[in-house]
Structure 1
Protein backbone atom coordinates (compact mmCIF):
# COMPACT_ATOMS: atom_id res chain seq x y z
CA UNK A 1 0.00 0.00 0.00
CA UNK A 2 2.80 2.41 0.91
CA UNK A 3 4.60 1.46 -2.31
CA UNK A 4 1.52 2.25 -4.39
CA UNK A 5 1.15 5.65 -2.73
CA UNK A 6 4.85 6.40 -3.34
CA UNK A 7 4.59 5.35 -6.99
CA UNK A 8 1.45 7.41 -7.55
CA UNK A 9 2.98 10.50 -5.90
CA UNK A 10 6.09 10.15 -8.06
CA UNK A 11 3.92 9.90 -11.16
CA UNK A 12 1.98 13.00 -10.14
CA UNK A 13 5.19 14.96 -9.53
CA UNK A 14 6.53 13.98 -12.96
CA UNK A 15 3.26 14.93 -14.62
CA UNK A 16 3.25 18.30 -12.88
CA UNK A 17 6.90 18.87 -13.85
CA UNK A 18 6.12 18.05 -17.50
CA UNK A 19 3.12 20.38 -17.43
CA UNK A 20 5.27 23.11 -15.89
CA UNK A 21 7.99 22.64 -18.52
CA UNK A 22 5.40 22.69 -21.30
CA UNK A 23 3.85 25.86 -19.92
CA UNK A 24 7.25 27.51 -19.65
CA UNK A 25 8.10 26.56 -23.25
CA UNK A 26 4.81 27.99 -24.47
CA UNK A 27 5.45 31.18 -22.53
CA UNK A 28 8.94 31.51 -23.99
CA UNK A 29 7.60 30.84 -27.49
CA UNK A 30 4.93 33.50 -27.02
CA UNK A 31 7.56 36.02 -25.91
CA UNK A 32 9.82 35.20 -28.86
CA UNK A 33 7.04 35.18 -31.45
CA UNK A 34 6.82 38.97 -32.04
CA UNK A 35 10.58 39.27 -32.58
CA UNK A 36 10.64 36.26 -34.91
CA UNK A 37 7.67 37.58 -36.90
CA UNK A 38 9.19 41.04 -37.28
CA UNK A 39 12.59 39.58 -38.18
CA UNK A 40 10.95 37.41 -40.83
CA UNK A 41 8.82 40.20 -42.29
CA UNK A 42 11.47 42.92 -42.40
CA UNK A 43 14.73 40.99 -42.90
CA UNK A 44 14.46 37.38 -43.99
CA UNK A 45 11.51 37.74 -46.39
CA UNK A 46 12.85 40.87 -48.15
CA UNK A 47 16.24 39.21 -48.54
CA UNK A 48 14.66 36.11 -50.09
CA UNK A 49 12.53 38.23 -52.44
CA UNK A 50 15.59 40.25 -53.46
CA UNK A 51 17.56 37.08 -54.07
CA UNK A 52 14.73 35.66 -56.19
CA UNK A 53 14.53 38.88 -58.22
CA UNK A 54 18.31 38.86 -58.62
CA UNK A 55 18.04 35.51 -60.38
CA UNK A 56 15.74 36.98 -63.06
CA UNK A 57 15.83 39.67 -65.76
CA UNK A 58 12.98 41.53 -64.01
CA UNK A 59 12.61 45.08 -65.44
CA UNK A 60 11.31 48.09 -63.54
CA UNK A 61 8.30 48.48 -65.85
CA UNK A 62 6.50 45.31 -67.04
CA UNK A 63 7.19 44.42 -70.66
CA UNK A 64 5.41 42.19 -73.17
CA UNK A 65 8.23 39.65 -72.99
CA UNK A 66 7.93 37.36 -69.97
CA UNK A 67 10.37 37.49 -67.09
CA UNK A 68 12.82 34.62 -67.21
CA UNK A 69 15.42 33.19 -64.88
CA UNK A 70 18.99 34.11 -65.71
CA UNK A 71 20.34 32.39 -62.61
CA UNK A 72 23.71 33.88 -61.61
CA UNK A 73 24.28 35.94 -64.76
CA UNK A 74 23.49 39.20 -62.96
CA UNK A 75 26.10 38.46 -60.31
CA UNK A 76 28.68 37.57 -62.97
CA UNK A 77 28.00 40.82 -64.86
CA UNK A 78 28.35 42.83 -61.64
CA UNK A 79 31.73 41.33 -60.82
CA UNK A 80 32.87 42.01 -64.39
CA UNK A 81 31.88 45.69 -64.21
CA UNK A 82 34.79 47.96 -63.30
CA UNK A 83 32.39 50.66 -62.09
CA UNK A 84 31.07 48.32 -59.39
CA UNK A 85 34.58 47.74 -58.06
CA UNK A 86 35.21 51.49 -58.15
CA UNK A 87 32.01 52.05 -56.17
CA UNK A 88 32.97 49.37 -53.65
CA UNK A 89 36.44 50.88 -53.23
CA UNK A 90 34.97 54.36 -52.77
CA UNK A 91 32.50 53.29 -50.10
CA UNK A 92 35.24 51.32 -48.36
CA UNK A 93 37.41 54.45 -48.25
CA UNK A 94 34.46 56.45 -46.96
CA UNK A 95 33.84 53.87 -44.23
CA UNK A 96 37.52 53.79 -43.26
CA UNK A 97 37.51 57.59 -42.80
CA UNK A 98 34.07 58.12 -41.32
CA UNK A 99 34.40 55.59 -38.47
CA UNK A 100 37.25 57.34 -36.60
CA UNK A 101 35.99 60.82 -37.51
CA UNK A 102 32.37 60.32 -36.54
CA UNK A 103 32.83 57.94 -33.62
CA UNK A 104 35.78 59.89 -32.23
CA UNK A 105 33.87 63.17 -32.39
CA UNK A 106 30.82 61.56 -30.79
CA UNK A 107 32.86 59.96 -28.00
CA UNK A 108 34.74 63.17 -27.20
CA UNK A 109 31.52 65.19 -27.16
CA UNK A 110 29.79 62.62 -24.95
CA UNK A 111 32.67 62.72 -22.45
CA UNK A 112 32.46 66.51 -22.38
CA UNK A 113 28.69 66.67 -21.96
CA UNK A 114 28.76 63.96 -19.29
CA UNK A 115 30.47 66.44 -17.00
CA UNK A 116 28.52 68.82 -14.78
CA UNK A 117 28.48 71.83 -17.09
CA UNK A 118 26.15 74.83 -17.09
CA UNK A 119 23.32 74.49 -19.63
CA UNK A 120 24.33 70.87 -20.16
CA UNK A 121 20.90 69.73 -21.36
CA UNK A 122 20.69 72.65 -23.78
CA UNK A 123 24.10 71.79 -25.19
CA UNK A 124 23.09 68.16 -25.63
CA UNK A 125 20.07 69.22 -27.63
CA UNK A 126 22.14 71.57 -29.79
CA UNK A 127 24.74 68.92 -30.56
CA UNK A 128 22.04 66.36 -31.34
CA UNK A 129 20.08 68.70 -33.64
CA UNK A 130 21.98 67.88 -36.89
CA UNK A 131 21.21 64.18 -36.44
CA UNK A 132 17.45 64.82 -36.66
CA UNK A 133 17.75 67.30 -39.52
CA UNK A 134 16.85 66.02 -42.98
CA UNK A 135 19.92 64.94 -44.91
CA UNK A 136 18.56 66.77 -47.95
CA UNK A 137 18.51 70.04 -46.00
CA UNK A 138 22.01 69.36 -44.66
CA UNK A 139 23.30 68.70 -48.18
CA UNK A 140 21.81 71.95 -49.49
CA UNK A 141 23.44 73.91 -46.64
CA UNK A 142 26.83 72.25 -47.05
CA UNK A 143 26.59 72.59 -50.82
CA UNK A 144 26.46 76.34 -50.28
CA UNK A 145 29.43 76.17 -47.90
CA UNK A 146 31.41 74.12 -50.44
CA UNK A 147 30.62 76.45 -53.35
CA UNK A 148 33.58 77.13 -55.63
CA UNK A 149 35.34 79.54 -55.66
CA UNK A 150 33.47 82.06 -53.50
CA UNK A 151 31.80 79.78 -50.96
CA UNK A 152 31.99 80.61 -47.25
CA UNK A 153 34.42 77.77 -46.53
CA UNK A 154 36.90 78.98 -49.15
CA UNK A 155 36.56 82.56 -47.95
CA UNK A 156 37.25 81.55 -44.34
CA UNK A 157 40.32 79.51 -45.32
CA UNK A 158 41.61 82.35 -47.48
CA UNK A 159 41.12 84.88 -44.70
CA UNK A 160 42.78 82.73 -42.02
CA UNK A 161 45.76 81.94 -44.27
CA UNK A 162 46.16 85.48 -45.54
CA UNK A 163 45.48 84.32 -49.09
CA UNK A 164 48.05 81.50 -48.99
CA UNK A 165 45.36 78.84 -49.45
CA UNK A 166 43.80 79.06 -52.88
CA UNK A 167 40.07 78.30 -53.34
CA UNK A 168 39.39 74.56 -53.32
CA UNK A 169 36.83 72.92 -55.59
CA UNK A 170 35.49 70.75 -52.78
CA UNK A 171 32.94 68.83 -54.83
CA UNK A 172 34.49 69.13 -58.29
CA UNK A 173 38.01 67.91 -57.54
CA UNK A 174 38.42 64.10 -57.31
CA UNK A 175 41.03 64.57 -54.58
CA UNK A 176 38.64 66.52 -52.35
CA UNK A 177 35.16 65.26 -53.21
CA UNK A 178 35.14 62.19 -50.96
CA UNK A 179 36.77 64.10 -48.11
CA UNK A 180 33.99 66.68 -48.40
CA UNK A 181 31.34 63.98 -48.07
CA UNK A 182 33.14 62.58 -45.01
CA UNK A 183 33.22 66.02 -43.40
CA UNK A 184 29.53 66.62 -44.09
CA UNK A 185 28.44 63.15 -42.96
CA UNK A 186 30.48 63.18 -39.75
CA UNK A 187 28.99 66.53 -38.74
CA UNK A 188 25.44 65.48 -39.54
CA UNK A 189 25.32 62.06 -37.89
CA UNK A 190 27.67 62.16 -34.91
CA UNK A 191 24.87 63.36 -32.62
CA UNK A 192 23.25 59.92 -32.67
CA UNK A 193 26.44 58.18 -31.57
CA UNK A 194 26.90 60.89 -28.95
CA UNK A 195 23.54 60.04 -27.39
CA UNK A 196 24.42 56.33 -27.41
CA UNK A 197 27.74 57.04 -25.68
CA UNK A 198 26.00 59.28 -23.13
CA UNK A 199 23.61 56.44 -22.32
CA UNK A 200 26.57 54.10 -21.90
CA UNK A 201 28.39 56.55 -19.63
CA UNK A 202 25.33 57.00 -17.45
CA UNK A 203 25.07 53.23 -17.11
CA UNK A 204 28.47 52.95 -15.40
CA UNK A 205 27.93 52.91 -11.59
CA UNK A 206 29.44 55.83 -9.68
CA UNK A 207 30.65 53.35 -7.05
CA UNK A 208 33.31 52.11 -9.47
CA UNK A 209 34.76 55.60 -9.83
CA UNK A 210 34.64 56.10 -6.06
CA UNK A 211 36.47 52.82 -5.49
CA UNK A 212 39.10 53.79 -8.07
CA UNK A 213 39.64 57.14 -6.33
CA UNK A 214 40.10 55.38 -2.99
CA UNK A 215 42.70 53.14 -4.62
CA UNK A 216 44.58 56.25 -5.72
CA UNK A 217 43.78 56.11 -9.44
CA UNK A 218 44.18 59.41 -11.27
CA UNK A 219 41.77 60.70 -13.93
CA UNK A 220 43.47 58.86 -16.79
CA UNK A 221 43.53 55.54 -14.92
CA UNK A 222 39.86 55.92 -13.99
CA UNK A 223 39.08 56.55 -17.65
CA UNK A 224 41.15 53.61 -18.89
CA UNK A 225 40.21 51.04 -16.24
CA UNK A 226 36.61 52.06 -15.48
CA UNK A 227 35.12 54.05 -18.34
CA UNK A 228 36.53 52.11 -21.28
CA UNK A 229 35.64 48.62 -19.95
CA UNK A 230 32.18 49.88 -19.04
CA UNK A 231 31.64 51.07 -22.61
CA UNK A 232 32.65 47.85 -24.39
CA UNK A 233 29.10 46.95 -25.49
CA UNK A 234 28.54 50.56 -26.52
CA UNK A 235 31.71 50.60 -28.63
CA UNK A 236 30.59 47.44 -30.44
CA UNK A 237 27.11 48.82 -31.11
CA UNK A 238 28.39 52.19 -32.34
CA UNK A 239 31.04 50.61 -34.57
CA UNK A 240 28.61 48.20 -36.22
CA UNK A 241 25.88 50.82 -36.72
CA UNK A 242 28.35 53.34 -38.15
CA UNK A 243 29.72 50.75 -40.57
CA UNK A 244 26.25 49.81 -41.79
CA UNK A 245 25.25 53.44 -42.27
CA UNK A 246 28.51 54.20 -44.09
CA UNK A 247 27.98 51.44 -46.63
CA UNK A 248 24.47 52.82 -47.27
CA UNK A 249 25.90 56.18 -48.40
CA UNK A 250 23.56 57.56 -51.06
CA UNK A 251 21.74 60.84 -50.34
CA UNK A 252 24.87 62.98 -50.15
CA UNK A 253 26.13 61.53 -53.42
CA UNK A 254 22.79 61.87 -55.22
CA UNK A 255 22.37 65.53 -54.25
CA UNK A 256 25.92 66.89 -54.33
CA UNK A 257 28.08 64.88 -56.74
CA UNK A 258 25.94 62.31 -58.64
CA UNK A 259 28.88 59.93 -58.35
CA UNK A 260 31.42 62.34 -59.82
CA UNK A 261 33.80 63.79 -60.51
CA UNK A 262 35.24 60.96 -62.60
CA UNK A 263 33.37 58.38 -60.46
CA UNK A 264 35.42 59.40 -57.41
CA UNK A 265 32.29 59.42 -55.20
CA UNK A 266 30.34 56.62 -56.86
CA UNK A 267 29.01 54.28 -54.16
CA UNK A 268 27.41 50.86 -54.23
CA UNK A 269 23.94 52.14 -53.31
CA UNK A 270 24.11 54.93 -55.91
CA UNK A 271 25.28 52.36 -58.45
CA UNK A 272 22.36 50.11 -57.47
CA UNK A 273 19.75 52.89 -57.70
CA UNK A 274 20.97 53.95 -61.13
CA UNK A 275 20.81 50.37 -62.37
CA UNK A 276 17.31 49.85 -60.98
CA UNK A 277 15.58 53.14 -61.78
CA UNK A 278 17.56 54.86 -64.53
CA UNK A 279 18.46 51.73 -66.48
CA UNK A 280 15.29 49.89 -65.27
CA UNK A 281 17.18 46.66 -64.52
CA UNK A 282 15.56 45.54 -61.28
CA UNK A 283 17.04 42.07 -61.40
CA UNK A 284 20.53 43.49 -61.75
CA UNK A 285 19.91 46.05 -58.98
CA UNK A 286 18.57 43.31 -56.69
CA UNK A 287 21.76 41.34 -57.24
CA UNK A 288 23.75 44.40 -56.16
CA UNK A 289 21.62 44.70 -53.01
CA UNK A 290 22.22 41.03 -52.15
CA UNK A 291 25.98 41.47 -52.56
CA UNK A 292 25.92 44.61 -50.41
CA UNK A 293 23.93 42.84 -47.69
CA UNK A 294 26.41 39.96 -47.57
CA UNK A 295 29.42 42.32 -47.50
CA UNK A 296 28.02 44.39 -44.63
CA UNK A 297 27.00 41.27 -42.69
CA UNK A 298 30.47 39.73 -43.03
CA UNK A 299 32.20 42.97 -42.01
CA UNK A 300 29.92 43.37 -38.97
CA UNK A 301 30.65 39.80 -37.85
CA UNK A 302 34.40 40.27 -38.32
CA UNK A 303 34.29 43.52 -36.33
CA UNK A 304 32.46 41.81 -33.50
CA UNK A 305 34.89 38.91 -33.36
CA UNK A 306 37.93 41.20 -33.44
CA UNK A 307 36.56 43.35 -30.64
CA UNK A 308 35.92 40.24 -28.55
CA UNK A 309 39.39 38.88 -29.24
CA UNK A 310 41.10 42.11 -28.22
CA UNK A 311 38.78 42.44 -25.22
CA UNK A 312 37.41 45.82 -26.33
Structure 2
Protein backbone atom coordinates (compact mmCIF):
# COMPACT_ATOMS: atom_id res chain seq x y z
CA UNK A 1 0.00 0.00 0.00
CA UNK A 2 2.81 2.38 0.97
CA UNK A 3 4.77 1.48 -2.17
CA UNK A 4 1.74 2.22 -4.35
CA UNK A 5 1.19 5.66 -2.78
CA UNK A 6 4.89 6.46 -3.15
CA UNK A 7 4.83 5.47 -6.81
CA UNK A 8 1.79 7.65 -7.48
CA UNK A 9 3.48 10.60 -5.75
CA UNK A 10 6.63 10.15 -7.84
CA UNK A 11 4.56 9.89 -11.01
CA UNK A 12 2.69 13.11 -10.18
CA UNK A 13 5.98 14.92 -9.55
CA UNK A 14 7.37 13.68 -12.87
CA UNK A 15 4.25 14.83 -14.73
CA UNK A 16 4.38 18.24 -13.00
CA UNK A 17 8.07 18.61 -13.87
CA UNK A 18 7.35 17.65 -17.47
CA UNK A 19 4.49 20.16 -17.67
CA UNK A 20 6.71 22.93 -16.30
CA UNK A 21 9.44 22.08 -18.79
CA UNK A 22 6.91 22.14 -21.63
CA UNK A 23 5.59 25.54 -20.49
CA UNK A 24 9.14 26.87 -20.28
CA UNK A 25 9.91 25.73 -23.81
CA UNK A 26 6.68 27.26 -25.12
CA UNK A 27 7.49 30.54 -23.35
CA UNK A 28 11.00 30.62 -24.77
CA UNK A 29 9.68 29.85 -28.27
CA UNK A 30 7.11 32.66 -28.05
CA UNK A 31 9.58 35.20 -26.68
CA UNK A 32 12.51 34.35 -28.95
CA UNK A 33 11.33 36.39 -32.01
CA UNK A 34 11.00 39.53 -29.87
CA UNK A 35 14.37 38.88 -28.21
CA UNK A 36 16.07 38.38 -31.58
CA UNK A 37 14.58 41.60 -32.94
CA UNK A 38 15.60 43.47 -29.78
CA UNK A 39 19.16 42.22 -30.04
CA UNK A 40 19.49 42.86 -33.79
CA UNK A 41 17.83 46.27 -33.96
CA UNK A 42 18.67 47.71 -30.52
CA UNK A 43 21.52 46.04 -28.68
CA UNK A 44 23.82 45.56 -31.68
CA UNK A 45 23.36 49.16 -33.01
CA UNK A 46 23.97 50.58 -29.53
CA UNK A 47 27.18 48.58 -29.16
CA UNK A 48 28.33 49.55 -32.66
CA UNK A 49 27.57 53.23 -32.01
CA UNK A 50 29.48 53.07 -28.73
CA UNK A 51 32.49 51.55 -30.51
CA UNK A 52 32.39 53.92 -33.50
CA UNK A 53 32.20 56.97 -31.25
CA UNK A 54 35.87 56.48 -30.36
CA UNK A 55 37.08 56.07 -33.95
CA UNK A 56 37.50 58.26 -37.03
CA UNK A 57 35.30 55.92 -39.12
CA UNK A 58 33.74 57.30 -42.27
CA UNK A 59 30.75 55.97 -44.18
CA UNK A 60 32.70 55.46 -47.43
CA UNK A 61 36.48 55.52 -47.16
CA UNK A 62 39.35 53.37 -48.48
CA UNK A 63 41.11 53.77 -45.14
CA UNK A 64 40.14 51.56 -42.20
CA UNK A 65 38.74 53.15 -39.05
CA UNK A 66 41.33 54.17 -36.48
CA UNK A 67 40.91 54.53 -32.72
CA UNK A 68 41.09 58.22 -31.73
CA UNK A 69 40.00 58.06 -28.10
CA UNK A 70 37.88 60.97 -26.95
CA UNK A 71 38.86 63.29 -29.82
CA UNK A 72 35.32 63.17 -31.26
CA UNK A 73 33.85 64.28 -27.94
CA UNK A 74 36.40 67.09 -27.53
CA UNK A 75 35.54 68.32 -31.03
CA UNK A 76 31.83 67.95 -30.33
CA UNK A 77 31.85 70.01 -27.14
CA UNK A 78 33.73 72.74 -28.98
CA UNK A 79 31.32 72.72 -31.93
CA UNK A 80 29.04 75.77 -31.97
CA UNK A 81 26.52 73.94 -34.16
CA UNK A 82 26.16 71.23 -31.52
CA UNK A 83 25.42 73.76 -28.79
CA UNK A 84 22.95 75.51 -31.08
CA UNK A 85 21.22 72.20 -31.82
CA UNK A 86 21.14 71.40 -28.10
CA UNK A 87 19.51 74.77 -27.34
CA UNK A 88 16.99 74.26 -30.13
CA UNK A 89 16.14 70.78 -28.85
CA UNK A 90 15.75 72.02 -25.28
CA UNK A 91 13.63 74.97 -26.46
CA UNK A 92 11.36 72.64 -28.40
CA UNK A 93 11.00 70.23 -25.47
CA UNK A 94 10.39 72.92 -22.83
CA UNK A 95 7.51 74.36 -24.85
CA UNK A 96 6.00 71.25 -26.43
CA UNK A 97 5.99 68.91 -23.41
CA UNK A 98 3.75 70.97 -21.06
CA UNK A 99 1.59 72.47 -23.83
CA UNK A 100 0.94 69.17 -25.55
CA UNK A 101 0.31 67.30 -22.30
CA UNK A 102 -2.01 70.02 -20.99
CA UNK A 103 -3.96 70.39 -24.23
CA UNK A 104 -4.32 66.62 -24.50
CA UNK A 105 -5.68 66.48 -20.94
CA UNK A 106 -8.23 69.21 -21.70
CA UNK A 107 -9.39 67.35 -24.81
CA UNK A 108 -9.59 64.10 -22.84
CA UNK A 109 -11.76 65.74 -20.19
CA UNK A 110 -14.04 67.12 -22.89
CA UNK A 111 -14.49 63.86 -24.79
CA UNK A 112 -14.87 61.94 -21.52
CA UNK A 113 -18.02 63.91 -20.74
CA UNK A 114 -21.26 62.02 -21.23
CA UNK A 115 -22.55 64.04 -24.16
CA UNK A 116 -23.55 63.19 -27.70
CA UNK A 117 -20.95 63.27 -30.46
CA UNK A 118 -17.91 62.34 -28.36
CA UNK A 119 -16.98 59.46 -30.68
CA UNK A 120 -16.88 61.88 -33.61
CA UNK A 121 -14.54 64.25 -31.80
CA UNK A 122 -12.30 61.37 -30.67
CA UNK A 123 -11.93 60.38 -34.30
CA UNK A 124 -11.23 63.93 -35.44
CA UNK A 125 -8.60 64.53 -32.77
CA UNK A 126 -6.92 61.17 -33.38
CA UNK A 127 -6.88 61.33 -37.20
CA UNK A 128 -3.54 63.25 -37.46
CA UNK A 129 -1.83 60.60 -35.31
CA UNK A 130 -2.39 57.83 -37.88
CA UNK A 131 -1.24 60.05 -40.75
CA UNK A 132 2.39 59.86 -41.83
CA UNK A 133 4.56 62.57 -40.33
CA UNK A 134 6.16 63.12 -43.74
CA UNK A 135 2.74 63.78 -45.29
CA UNK A 136 1.78 66.14 -42.48
CA UNK A 137 5.10 67.97 -42.72
CA UNK A 138 4.64 68.47 -46.46
CA UNK A 139 1.09 69.70 -45.93
CA UNK A 140 2.11 72.21 -43.28
CA UNK A 141 5.07 73.35 -45.35
CA UNK A 142 2.58 74.45 -48.00
CA UNK A 143 0.42 76.09 -45.32
CA UNK A 144 3.42 78.06 -44.03
CA UNK A 145 4.57 79.32 -47.46
CA UNK A 146 4.46 83.09 -48.11
CA UNK A 147 1.45 82.54 -50.40
CA UNK A 148 0.08 79.68 -48.30
CA UNK A 149 -3.21 79.19 -46.52
CA UNK A 150 -2.09 80.67 -43.20
CA UNK A 151 -1.04 84.01 -44.66
CA UNK A 152 -4.21 84.19 -46.74
CA UNK A 153 -6.29 83.64 -43.59
CA UNK A 154 -4.32 86.26 -41.64
CA UNK A 155 -4.73 88.74 -44.47
CA UNK A 156 -8.48 88.08 -44.64
CA UNK A 157 -8.98 88.36 -40.86
CA UNK A 158 -6.93 91.59 -40.65
CA UNK A 159 -8.62 93.02 -43.77
CA UNK A 160 -5.30 93.15 -45.60
CA UNK A 161 -3.38 95.00 -42.86
CA UNK A 162 -1.14 92.01 -42.04
CA UNK A 163 0.26 89.87 -44.82
CA UNK A 164 1.98 87.38 -42.54
CA UNK A 165 5.58 86.24 -43.06
CA UNK A 166 7.68 83.48 -44.56
CA UNK A 167 7.21 81.33 -41.49
CA UNK A 168 9.81 78.64 -42.17
CA UNK A 169 12.51 80.99 -43.50
CA UNK A 170 12.19 83.52 -40.70
CA UNK A 171 14.64 82.71 -37.85
CA UNK A 172 12.17 84.03 -35.28
CA UNK A 173 9.17 81.99 -36.44
CA UNK A 174 10.65 78.76 -37.89
CA UNK A 175 10.85 76.79 -34.65
CA UNK A 176 7.51 78.06 -33.22
CA UNK A 177 5.85 77.08 -36.51
CA UNK A 178 7.23 73.55 -36.19
CA UNK A 179 6.09 73.45 -32.56
CA UNK A 180 2.51 74.28 -33.51
CA UNK A 181 2.45 71.59 -36.19
CA UNK A 182 4.02 68.97 -33.90
CA UNK A 183 1.56 69.65 -31.08
CA UNK A 184 -1.38 69.45 -33.48
CA UNK A 185 -0.16 66.15 -34.89
CA UNK A 186 0.53 64.28 -31.64
CA UNK A 187 -2.02 65.70 -29.21
CA UNK A 188 -4.64 63.12 -30.23
CA UNK A 189 -2.48 60.19 -29.17
CA UNK A 190 -1.88 61.57 -25.69
CA UNK A 191 -5.56 62.51 -25.46
CA UNK A 192 -6.36 58.79 -25.83
CA UNK A 193 -3.82 57.91 -23.12
CA UNK A 194 -5.29 60.51 -20.75
CA UNK A 195 -8.76 59.20 -21.59
CA UNK A 196 -7.73 55.66 -20.70
CA UNK A 197 -6.44 56.93 -17.37
CA UNK A 198 -9.64 58.88 -16.70
CA UNK A 199 -11.75 55.78 -17.25
CA UNK A 200 -9.82 53.84 -14.58
CA UNK A 201 -10.93 56.27 -11.84
CA UNK A 202 -13.93 54.82 -9.97
CA UNK A 203 -17.18 56.68 -10.67
CA UNK A 204 -18.16 56.28 -7.01
CA UNK A 205 -15.60 58.94 -6.07
CA UNK A 206 -17.22 61.49 -8.38
CA UNK A 207 -20.67 60.62 -7.05
CA UNK A 208 -19.47 61.09 -3.48
CA UNK A 209 -17.89 64.44 -4.39
CA UNK A 210 -21.15 65.57 -6.02
CA UNK A 211 -23.11 64.63 -2.90
CA UNK A 212 -20.67 66.64 -0.77
CA UNK A 213 -21.19 69.65 -3.03
CA UNK A 214 -17.58 69.78 -4.27
CA UNK A 215 -16.91 72.22 -7.09
CA UNK A 216 -15.52 71.12 -10.43
CA UNK A 217 -12.04 72.38 -9.61
CA UNK A 218 -11.98 70.64 -6.20
CA UNK A 219 -13.17 67.42 -7.83
CA UNK A 220 -10.39 67.64 -10.39
CA UNK A 221 -7.70 68.53 -7.83
CA UNK A 222 -8.65 65.88 -5.27
CA UNK A 223 -9.93 63.01 -7.41
CA UNK A 224 -9.01 63.32 -11.08
CA UNK A 225 -5.44 64.57 -10.85
CA UNK A 226 -4.29 62.13 -8.11
CA UNK A 227 -5.97 59.29 -10.00
CA UNK A 228 -3.90 60.12 -13.10
CA UNK A 229 -0.53 59.79 -11.37
CA UNK A 230 0.71 56.79 -13.34
CA UNK A 231 -0.79 58.13 -16.57
CA UNK A 232 0.89 61.53 -16.33
CA UNK A 233 4.26 59.92 -15.62
CA UNK A 234 3.95 57.84 -18.78
CA UNK A 235 2.80 60.81 -20.85
CA UNK A 236 5.52 63.17 -19.65
CA UNK A 237 8.26 60.65 -20.37
CA UNK A 238 6.94 59.69 -23.81
CA UNK A 239 6.41 63.31 -24.90
CA UNK A 240 9.87 64.26 -23.66
CA UNK A 241 11.55 61.42 -25.56
CA UNK A 242 9.60 62.29 -28.71
CA UNK A 243 10.48 65.99 -28.33
CA UNK A 244 14.18 65.27 -27.95
CA UNK A 245 13.99 62.95 -30.98
CA UNK A 246 12.69 65.70 -33.28
CA UNK A 247 13.88 64.92 -36.81
CA UNK A 248 11.26 64.27 -39.50
CA UNK A 249 9.67 67.70 -39.34
CA UNK A 250 13.08 69.38 -39.55
CA UNK A 251 14.25 67.18 -42.42
CA UNK A 252 11.14 67.81 -44.51
CA UNK A 253 10.35 71.43 -43.67
CA UNK A 254 13.55 73.40 -42.94
CA UNK A 255 16.65 71.20 -43.29
CA UNK A 256 17.93 72.78 -40.07
CA UNK A 257 17.64 76.36 -41.30
CA UNK A 258 17.41 79.22 -41.31
CA UNK A 259 20.82 79.90 -39.73
CA UNK A 260 20.67 76.57 -37.84
CA UNK A 261 17.73 77.89 -35.83
CA UNK A 262 15.85 74.58 -36.24
CA UNK A 263 18.82 72.19 -36.21
CA UNK A 264 18.32 69.54 -33.52
CA UNK A 265 20.70 67.00 -32.04
CA UNK A 266 19.17 64.09 -33.96
CA UNK A 267 19.12 66.02 -37.23
CA UNK A 268 22.76 67.02 -36.72
CA UNK A 269 23.73 63.39 -36.08
CA UNK A 270 21.97 62.16 -39.23
CA UNK A 271 23.38 64.97 -41.37
CA UNK A 272 26.88 64.35 -40.04
CA UNK A 273 26.69 60.61 -40.55
CA UNK A 274 25.09 60.48 -44.01
CA UNK A 275 25.68 63.80 -45.77
CA UNK A 276 29.14 64.44 -44.34
CA UNK A 277 29.84 60.66 -44.06
CA UNK A 278 31.58 61.09 -40.71
CA UNK A 279 30.08 58.09 -38.93
CA UNK A 280 32.49 58.19 -36.00
CA UNK A 281 31.59 61.78 -35.18
CA UNK A 282 27.89 61.06 -35.72
CA UNK A 283 28.14 58.10 -33.33
CA UNK A 284 29.64 60.43 -30.70
CA UNK A 285 26.69 62.79 -31.15
CA UNK A 286 24.27 59.87 -30.83
CA UNK A 287 25.97 58.64 -27.68
CA UNK A 288 25.76 62.07 -26.05
CA UNK A 289 22.10 62.27 -27.10
CA UNK A 290 21.41 58.84 -25.56
CA UNK A 291 22.95 59.88 -22.25
CA UNK A 292 21.03 63.16 -22.34
CA UNK A 293 17.64 61.53 -22.92
CA UNK A 294 18.34 58.85 -20.32
CA UNK A 295 19.24 61.52 -17.76
CA UNK A 296 16.19 63.67 -18.44
CA UNK A 297 13.86 60.65 -18.35
CA UNK A 298 15.42 59.50 -15.09
CA UNK A 299 14.97 62.93 -13.50
CA UNK A 300 11.35 63.06 -14.67
CA UNK A 301 10.70 59.59 -13.29
CA UNK A 302 12.25 60.58 -9.96
CA UNK A 303 10.21 63.78 -9.68
CA UNK A 304 6.93 62.03 -10.57
CA UNK A 305 7.51 58.93 -8.41
CA UNK A 306 5.03 57.78 -5.79
CA UNK A 307 5.87 59.54 -2.51
CA UNK A 308 3.51 57.61 -0.28
* Common topology (TM > 0.5): yes
Q: What TM-score do the two structures reach when normalised by structure 1?
A: 0.85
- Which string of whole-angstrom CA distances, capped at 9 and with x for unpartnered residues, describes residues 90-125 of structure 1? 010011111122112211111100012222222211
- Partner residue in 2 for 1:237: 234
Kept in 1: contact 2:174–2:262 (CA 8 A): yes
CA RMSD of aligned residues (A): 2.7
- Which string of whole-angstrom CA distances, capped at 9 and with x for unpartnered residues, describes residues 251-310 of structure 1? 111111111111110111111111100111111111111110100010011111122388
- Partner residue in 1 for 2:250: 253
Higher alpha-carbon deviation: 292-301 or 33-42: 33-42
- Which string of whole-angstrom CA distances, capped at 9 and with x for unpartnered residues, describes residues 126-183 of structure 1? 11010110111111111111111x2211121122223333422211110000000000
Q: Does 1:193 align with 2:190?
A: yes
Q: Sort the Cα spacing of 1:238 and 1:57 in 2 relative to 1 into closer, same or farther, 3 A.
A: same
Cα distance in 1 between the residues matched to 2:161 and 2:307: 45
Structure 1: 5+ residue stretches without partners:
1-15
1:55 is paired with a residue whose SS is: coil
1:174 is paired with a residue whose SS is: coil
1:296 is paired with a residue whose SS is: helix
Q: Does 1:292 align with 2:286?
A: no
- Partner residue in 2 for 1:135: 133
- Partner residue in 2 for 1:205: 202
Kept in 1: contact 2:152–2:163 (CA 8 A): no
Cα distance in 1 between the residues matched to 2:97 and 2:122: 21
Shift of 1:188: 0.7
Q: Does 1:101 align with 2:99?
A: yes
2:246 is paired with a residue whose SS is: coil
1:194 is paired with a residue whose SS is: helix
1:175 is paired with a residue whose SS is: coil
Cα distance in 2 between the residues matched to 1:145 and 1:41: 40
- Partner residue in 2 for 1:180: 177
Higher alpha-carbon deviation: 212-221 or 289-298: 212-221
Shift of 1:185: 0.4
Shift of 1:41: 5.1
Q: Sort the Cα spacing of 1:232 and 1:39 in 2 relative to 1 into closer, same or farther, 3 A.
A: farther
Cα distance in 1 between the residues matched to 2:115 and 2:283: 50
